[in-house]
Amino acid sequence: MIDDVVEHQIRRHIEFPGIGDHPDLGITQTIARSESSGLTELLQHPSITGKTKNWTTTYKKYPTSSFYDGANYNTGTTEARVGYESTIGGLSRSFFRLAWTSSIKGATVTEADLRLYETYSWSCSAREMRVWRTGGISSSTTWNNQPSWTKEIGRKSFANGWSSSCPDAYVVYDGKSVAQDAADGGWTNFTIGLRASTEDSSYSWKKFKAEGESAPKIVITYNRKPAEPTKLDIPPGTCWSLAAIPLMTGTPDVKATATWGGSATTVIGGGWENKMALG
């Protein structure tokens, strides 16, 4: 279905050759679309994916140690840790920098799914974890040097990865708010932080895939307000005159070129219905 904003723009600007809106004759013009028409689908609500570019886990037990991109954790790791692990008495929080290449500045975000792949939980008993937007991370990020916890994105209870009763699985948070912040600010990356809501319980212990295709990502679906349409035209049909005013009969085509997101698309309304009422 063509975007309502584009339809409004075309409806507002199109004029019949030689007529226009003529209040004295009580002429009204309505360009209505037909669901069965072959009208070009213009706005597809595209999406972009912000993928993990860098990540780190911080450990309270090792307050000055950096585990940036999994380094220094034994021989290295590809899993991020969150919560309290009672075996070693370690409390952890993890951070991910998500980035994309194309700016969505000025766009309206219609949906954004923040996807995390959990590979381990302490049991199949769900426990709550919170996701925040944070400040940036680097190889200097440690427990004693954590980024700012700027804005909470959401909280959710879940447990995956303990056994076949609750196997590894994706967990999805609503990231629409932070994605809109990115669009408003013209960002092409931001950092998220994961922390357990109850940091003194071993049941809060979780692991997440931190590298590869299953690493955290945000899928952002967005839209942009199109520019006013140009090249508005109604290909000629049969005309006749009433008091020297040319009128068009039949069912003409309507076409216009709408520019959206830097791309121009010609909308051809072969199935559009033109209704004229003479008062």
Q: What is the CATH number of the domain that holds 109?
A: 2.60.120
| Cα–Cα distance for residue pair 223/218, rounded to 1 Å | 16
122 and 77 assigned to the same domain: yes
Buried b (16+ CB within 10 A) or exposed e, 121-141: bbeeeebebbbbbbeebeeeb
60 and 37 assigned to the same domain: no
130 and 232 assigned to the same domain: no
156 and 251 assigned to the same domain: no
Q: Of 204, 223, 242, which closes a domain? A: 223
pLDDT at 218: 98
Residues 202-252: tens digit of each pLDDT: 999 999 999 999 999 999 999 987 667 666 666 655 555 555 555 555 556
Q: Of 223, 251, 268, which closes a domain? A: 223
Domain that holds residue 252: 4-43+226-277
8 and 86 assigned to the same domain: no
> Which two structure tokens, joined as six digits, stand for 275?
């209704």
Comparing 33-42, 74-83, 150-159, 231-240, the range with the smallest average pLDDT is: 33-42
∠ CA(255), CA(6), CA(185), 5° rounding? Answer: 140
34 and 131 assigned to the same domain: no
75 and 204 assigned to the same domain: yes
Contact (CB, 8 A) for 262 and 104: no
Comparing 111-125, 132-146, 222-236, 246-260, the range with the smallest average pLDDT is: 246-260
The percentage of residues in the chain with a pLDDT greater than 70, rounded to a whole number, is 65
Say which residue the tokens 């840790």 belong to: 81
pTM listed for this prediction: 0.72
172 and 80 assigned to the same domain: yes
The count of structural domains within the chain is 2
Mean pLDDT of the chain: 79
8 and 109 assigned to the same domain: no
217 and 233 assigned to the same domain: no
136 and 79 assigned to the same domain: yes
214 and 190 assigned to the same domain: yes
pLDDT at 6: 47
SS (H, E, C) the chain: CCCHHHHHHHHHHCCCCCCCCCHHHCCEEEEECCCCCCCCCCCCCCEEEEEEEEEEEEECCCCCCCCHHHCCCCCCCCEEEEEEECCCCEEEEEEEEEECCCCCCCCEEEEEEEEEEEEEECCCCCEEEEEEEECCCCCCCECCECCCEEEEEEEEEECCCCCCCCCCEEEEEECHHHHHHHHHHCCCEEEEEEEECCCCCHHHCEEEECCCCCCCEEEEEEECCCCCCEEEECCCCCEEEECCEEEECCCCCCEEEEEECCEEEEEECCCCEEEEECC
pLDDT at 97: 98
Q: Of 184, 205, 223, which closes a domain? A: 223
